[in-house]
Homo-oligomer: A and B are copies of this chain.
Amino acid sequence: MTKGRIEAFSDGVIAIIITIMVLEMKVPHGHDLATLMPLLPVFLCYVLSFANVGIYWNNHHHMFHAVKHVGGWVLWANLHLLFWLSLMPFATGFMGENDFAPVTVFVYIVDLLMCALSYLLLENALLAQHGRDSDFARALAKSVKDKVSMGIYLVALVASAFAPLVSLILVAVVAAIWIVPDRRFAKAPE
């Protein structure tokens, strides 16, 4: 089945994205715990981004488990999603190394929004392959979480201009919503 290789390539890219983010935490020189303190914002950003990228992998995994056909624009929609995910290490580092300055939080949330949008496009490309009457379409139709997430991201985007920490709390809330596995496709695997 040809979907295996899309999964494998996506796994590879997401595995690298999630792992190279740790390279932003530059090893400090020093002999006491205080040396690590300036790294705290970078570390917190890493945790947040690790969770977000992990959620994308998780949802990607569940969704492709239910996929029967790939083709047409699916490969490009998938690459498009990987593109925006690949900017996460940059956006994460930009935010962590500039102490959550409003503009860096803004850029970070723009990237999250683009990831969410490209995930939606991927869903639609897959939907076009499966047809409106498929099990895949029925599973997708129950979706409400993604619309809620997009809404919260938009609020967070606006908030970043004057209250960047509120924005990040909203981002963390979205992550928390998704950590509960996506029930739409979750029934199939078990």
Contacts and interface: CB of A to CB of B under 8 A. Distances in A.
Interface in A45-77: 47, 50, 54, 57-58, 61, 64-65, 69-72, 75-76
A9 interface: yes
Give the number of copies in the complex: 4
A19 B27 contact: no
B61 A98 contact: no
Q: How large is the interface on A (under 10, 10 to 19, 20 to 34, 35 or more residues)?
A: 35 or more
Contacts of A27: 24, 90, 93-94, 97
A55 to B, nearest CB: 9
Contacts of A25: 90
Nearest to A96: B27
B19 A103 contact: no
